[in-house]
Structure 1
Amino acid sequence: MQTIVCMKWGTRYPADYVNRLWSMVKRNTQRPTRLVCFTDDTSGISEEVAVHPLPPITLPERVMWLPWRKLSMWQAPLADLDGDVLYLDLDVVVTGGLDVFFDYRPGQFCAAENWTQPGSRIGNTSIYRWHVGRHSEIFDRFNADPEAVLRDYRIEQQYISALVDDMEFWPSDWCVSFKHTLLPKWPMNFFKVPPLPEGTRVVAFTGKPDPDEAEIGAWPVNAPWKRLYKHVRPTPWITKHWR
């Protein structure tokens, strides 16, 4: 049984995002696979998804709802998980087979090379695989003194990458960023639809827009002048895959 994990906390993503992820997982796996969701609100989540409470972690209030919470995945034991487990952010779109993520470099921590820091040995944790119980010092060190870690690292994936010296990156065509890989550069983003390259298996939507926004060509901005360059055309392949 392959295990894929996601996390849902706060109010940004509704239960529909979990259910769509489960639907995508089922369509893109050939082996027996389950989805486990760690969450603070189980309402609306499909009964086919295994749910657990958010794992405990010591978090200062200012980062309580930020991705630092994902470090709780590195503690052991962790619910009923064991072996190699694949983590997917809720805001990814699965566009190809996922079984290969369990076959690649078994036992090692694997992640996408961060698209904005190529060559810097920084893994992006939108999609990663880890072996439960290995590198538990990632959780233990943070949980013991979160302020010390927060002083040294801007985001959690930089911290993880610094502690894991045998990190492996997924093949670059498997995992892409919607915003940093696929979105045409300004001003062509006003005229061209973001393409979906052949061989892509997971598209990560870091920051904005989210999949439901990019699907219809909406990019929410907090300042009107940003509309001069923050734009995305309606993207039909999201409708095809994100369901």
Structure 2
Amino acid sequence: MSATAPAAAASTPRTILCMKWGTKYGPEYVNRLYAMVRRHLSGDFRFVCLTDDSKGIRGEVQCLPIPALDLPAGLPERGWTKLATFSKDLHGLRGTALFLDVDVVVTGSLDEFFTRPGEFLIIHDYKRPWRITGNSSVYRFELGAHPDVLEYFRANFGEIRQKFRNEQAYLSDFLHRQGKLQYWPKAWCPSFKYHGIPAWPTNYWRTPEVPHGARIVIFHGECNPPDALAGRRNRRFRFIRPALWVGEHWRE
């Protein structure tokens, strides 16, 4: 396990990495993510989006194709595509990468995400913290340093699919067994669903707020940023007031 923070040499700049595939998220998600990172990360960085459609994405973002995983057609979406970030040679990219889901909202400084010691850092699972599983909305790694994650996946997909529900469960288990898995401080990457919505029945009169100490708020499950901003939830009888703070951060 690494005891020192990764260096960000001038020849291998820090990289913000995201992915956009399919039609669920439009280019505005990538554009707003770039703008939030620019406001909250000091110094130089490279912003890369692995995508199957670069239309509408702002010029500061380097758009590159997603490496093919060659999975069987018709599979349910379980995030397996993210494992392409662990390619041995990801379009020649090198250095330290911070992966961000395109639907997160950045609310605080990102500088320490690059300086915190550790070989591989990820969010600890919110719902079942006694498990090792991480939430892969935010993870940091050295580009090209973990090709075995992808190589083993490609060679054993049938077995992996039976054992793990999604990519983050497989990824966490694989790196945990190598002694490389570590977690971000709990306050840094809270869940809007679990930490940002007031408890019932106060959700009927209290407005959702940014959780204390949050730097990146994660939107997973039933709400994404525009839903939270509008006060919508996609499950019945789960009322929330508009989270107006989202509009202050989730913008270009």
Structure 2: distance between partners of 1:186 and 1:60: 43
Task: Output the aligned Cα RMSD.
Answer: 1.4
- Code of the residue aligned with 1:213 in structure 2: it is D
1:93 aligns with 2:105: yes
**Structure 1 stretches of at least 4 aligned residues deviating more than 6 Å after TM superposition:** none
The aligned counterpart of 1:138 is 149
Aligned residues of 1:7 and 1:37 also touching (Cα < 8 A): yes
Whether the 8 Å contact between 2:195 and 2:211 is mirrored in structure 1 is no
Aligned residues: 236
Return 10-19 or 54-63, whichever deviates more: 54-63
Matched, 1:7 2:16: no
Q: CA deviation at 1:64?
A: 6.4
Distance in structure 2 (CA, Å) of the matches to 1:205 and 1:170: 17
- Give the whole-Å Cα distance in 1 for the aligned partners of 2:247 and 2:74: 35
TM normalised by structure 2 equals 0.89
1:42 pairs with one of 42, 54, 57: 54
Task: Please give the TM-score of this superposition, normalised by the length of structure 1.
Answer: 0.92
- Segments of 5+ residues of structure 2 without an aligned counterpart are 1-12
AA of the residue aligned to 1:205: F
1:65 is displaced (CA, Å) by 4.2
Report what 1:240 is aligned to. Answer: 248
- Partner residue in 2 for 1:176: 190
Deviates more, 1:44-53 or 1:71-80: 71-80
Distance, in Å, in 2 between the alignment partners of 1:74 and 1:154 is 19
Which string of whole-angstrom CA distances, capped at 9 and with x for unpartnered residues, describes residues 70-112 of structure 1? 1111111111321221000001000011111000115x11011
Give the aligned partner of residue 84 of structure 1.
Answer: 96
Q: Deviations over 1:121-171 (max 9, x none)?
A: 111100000112223221111112311110110111111111112211111
Asked if 1:227 is matched to 2:236, the reply is: yes
1:203 maps to 2:217: yes
Are positions 1:32 and 2:48 aligned together? no
Whole-angstrom CA distance in 2 between matches of 1:169 and 1:215: 28
Change (3 A) 1:185 1:62: farther
Residues 1:186 and 1:60: Cα distance change in structure 2 (over 3 Å): farther
